[in-house]
């Protein structure tokens, strides 16, 4: 796991009481794990400010217990009938979970580093 953001970085971005009742150290570790899983490209020696901002947002979510959510195996389709001729139907994607505003914001901040380079040159030896 790469350390993209530190607790000091998060305090600088969000202020000293950013973790609320949550564990700040665990929240920063979760944020770094989340960023490591998402970022696919090599980064410069100095971590860009956008990634530090994203890490701060994700650490705040982790401190509140909203980053890694429990997932369930969801039904692909469900139909409920109340009376003859009346029914409602919902279709869910298997394993889908709602993303919070902070998580969507963090994903947008790190977007340039989440996609692999488009062209790979191969040379036959």
Tell me the residue range of the domain where 24 lies: 7-70+98-114
pLDDT in tens, the chain (125 residues): 789 999 999 999 999 999 999 999 999 999 999 999 888 888 888 999 999 999 999 999 999 988 877 655 555 666 667 777 777 776 666 666 677 777 877 887 888 777 766 666 677 87
Residue 26 domain flag: yes
Q: How many domains, the chain?
A: 1
> 2 lies in a domain?
no
36 falls within a domain: yes
pLDDT at 26: 93
Does the pTM surpass 0.75? The reply is no
Residue 61 covered by a domain: yes
Secondary structure of the chain as H, E, C letters: CCCCCCHHHHHHHHCCCCCCCCCHHHHHHHHHHHHHHHCCCCCCCCCCHHHHHHHHHHHHHHHCCCCCCCCCCCCCCEEEEEECCEEEEECCCCCCCCCCHHHHHHHHHCHHHHCCCCCCCCCCC
């Amino acid at each position: 796991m790469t350390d993209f953001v530190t607790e000091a970085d998060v305090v600088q971005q969000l202020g000293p009481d950013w973790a609320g009742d949550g564990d700040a150290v665990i929240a920063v570790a979760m944020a770094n794990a989340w960023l490591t899983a998402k970022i696919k490209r090599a980064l410069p020696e100095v971590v860009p400010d956008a990634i530090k901002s994203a890490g701060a947002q994700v650490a705040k979510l982790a401190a509140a217990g909203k980053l890694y959510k429990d997932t369930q195996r969801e039904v692909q389709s469900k139909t409920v009938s109340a009376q003859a001729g009346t029914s409602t139907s919902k279709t869910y994607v298997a394993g889908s979970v709602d993303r919070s505003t902070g998580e969507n914001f963090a994903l947008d901040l790190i977007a340039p580093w989440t996609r692999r380079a488009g062209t790979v040159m191969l040379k036959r030896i």
